[in-house]
């Protein structure tokens, strides 16, 4: 993780020094919105299924091949897998589901991204394409809740489904890193469809749920998102 942070800081410093070569008259900025398919990866996929992710962005040209993008996004994982998963009660060696259980997780995030266009910069002509690499970092505020799970430590038969665990809530703001690639397909000289795929890493964790098969904490939180958005460009 330290390596990624160092690379991100180095890239931002490089971006700040590269603005001298850009002429003020040619600088462009833009705003956009996007909708993505957000897929939990690695250990997070044991808890949740894919969901939607949406947000808005503002970007500014540092030089013809390098843009900085400020992004805000939201995502909610509802109907988590653990709420539907039974546990093995050791007293009678039978599996029991928790009928009133719920498992949810909500994200709000901000990020600063660098869009590195390669092999050529956007031409801002209709029917043209501009390919880019993306690297960024920011912060995710997340809240994960598990509620109304039957207490599996009961020792007296029969199992009482009204005896439940205390609500389990993991909530914090954590550093995030992301990297990916995309293409902007210009519909008009100042409007583009932005297609993007990326890997997101949140330096946060969720506590174990051992009776439901999650024996270790989930760390870090990782997601893949694939989506499309619209970008509208303006001239300074």
Q: Give me the residue label for tokens 């970007």.
A: 59
Question: Is the pLDDT score of 167 beyond 70?
Answer: yes
Residue range 152-166, pLDDT digits in tens: 999 999 999 999 999
CA 231/CA 185 separation, integer angstroms: 10
Residue 10: which H helix or E strand, with range? helix 2-17
- Residue 235 has a pLDDT of 86
Q: What is the pTM of this model?
A: 0.85
Phi-psi region of 99 (alpha: psi -120 to 50; beta: other; left: phi over 0): alpha
- Residue 4 has a pLDDT of 42
- Residue 20 has a pLDDT of 38
Residue range 174-232, pLDDT digits in tens: 999 999 999 999 999 999 999 999 999 999 999 999 999 999 999 999 999 999 999 99
Q: Is the peptide bond before 190 cis (omega within 30 degrees of 0)?
A: no
- Residue 59 has a pLDDT of 95
Question: What value does the mean pLDDT take over residues 84-92?
Answer: 96
Burial letters 149-159, b for 16+ CB under 10 A, else e: bbebeeeeeee
- Residue 236 has a pLDDT of 67
Q: Are 197 and 179 in contact (CB under 8 A)?
A: no
Residue range 15-71, pLDDT digits in tens: 444 443 434 445 699 999 999 999 999 999 999 999 999 999 999 999 999 999 999
């Amino acid at each position: 993780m330290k390596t990624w942070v160092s690379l991100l800081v180095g890239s931002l410093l490089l971006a700040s020094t590269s603005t001298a070569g850009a002429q003020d008259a040619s600088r462009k900025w833009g705003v956009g919105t996007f909708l993505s398919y957000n897929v939990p990866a690695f250990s997070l996929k044991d808890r949740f299924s894919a969901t939607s992710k949406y947000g808005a962005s503002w970007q500014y040209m540092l030089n013809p091949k390098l843009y900085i993008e400020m992004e805000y996004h939201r995502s909610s994982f509802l109907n988590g897998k653990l709420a539907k998963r039974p546990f093995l009660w050791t007293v009678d060696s039978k599996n029991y589901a928790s009928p009133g259980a719920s498992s949810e997780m909500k994200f709000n995030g901000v990020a600063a991204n660098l869009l590195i266009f390669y092999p050529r910069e956007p031409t801002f002509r209709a029917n043209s394409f501009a390919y880019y690499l993306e690297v960024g970092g920011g912060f995710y505020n997340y809240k994960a809740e598990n509620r109304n799970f039957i207490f599996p430590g009961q020792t007296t038969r029969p199992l009482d489904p009204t005896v439940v665990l205390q609500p389990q809530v993991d909530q914090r703001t954590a550093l995030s890193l992301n990297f990916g690639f995309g293409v902007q397909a210009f519909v008009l000289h100042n409007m583009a469809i932005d297609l993007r795929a990326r890997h997101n890493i949140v330096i946060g964790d969720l506590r174990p749920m051992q009776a439901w098969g999650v024996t270790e904490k989930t760390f870090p939180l990782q997601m893949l998102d694939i989506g499309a958005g619209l970008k509208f460009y303006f001239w300074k």
